[in-house]
Structure 1
Amino acid sequence: THEIMELLTRLNTELGLTIAMVTHEADVAGYAERTIRFLDGHVASDAMNLEVV
């Protein structure tokens, strides 16, 4: 998982690609600059992450 997340992070940083991902894993979500959480089909929170892994 770590290697894939590092690759996606590099693609975002070096090529400016936007990456959308769905996960239930908090450690994976920690790589994101922005996290949108859903509850019962509605946006429960939308936050920018201050510390990205």
Structure 2
Amino acid sequence: MELLASLNTDRGITIMMVTHEPDMAEYATRTVRFKDGLIASDSRDMEVAQ
């Protein structure tokens, strides 16, 4: 994860990740959560939605 974070901050590369692990949200500046194929929440800047 540190490598991906470094690529983003040092080189400006956008990283898009799909995961079922809530701990990965710590690294995100934006999280989009889906439920039944629809967007349930869209949060930016570490505002992790429940």
Which portions of structure 1, spanning 4 or more consecutive aligned residues, are displaced by more than 2 angstroms?
none
Q: Give the structure 2 partner of residue 45 of structure 1.
A: 41
* Structure 1 portions without partners, runs of 5+: none
Q: Give the structure 1 partner of residue 28 of structure 2.
A: 32
Secondary structure of residue in 2 paired with 1:47: strand
Distance 1:27 1:44 in 2: 18
Q: TM-score, normalised by structure 2?
A: 0.85
Percent identity among equivalent residues?
Answer: 61
Deviation at 1:21, TM superposition (A): 0.3
Distance 1:13 1:30 in 2: 15
The CA RMSD over aligned residues, in Å, is 0.9
Alignment of 1:2-13 (within 5 A): 5-13=1-9
* Structure 2 portions without partners, runs of 5+: none
Q: TM-score, normalised by structure 1?
A: 0.81
Deviation at 1:30, TM superposition (A): 1.5
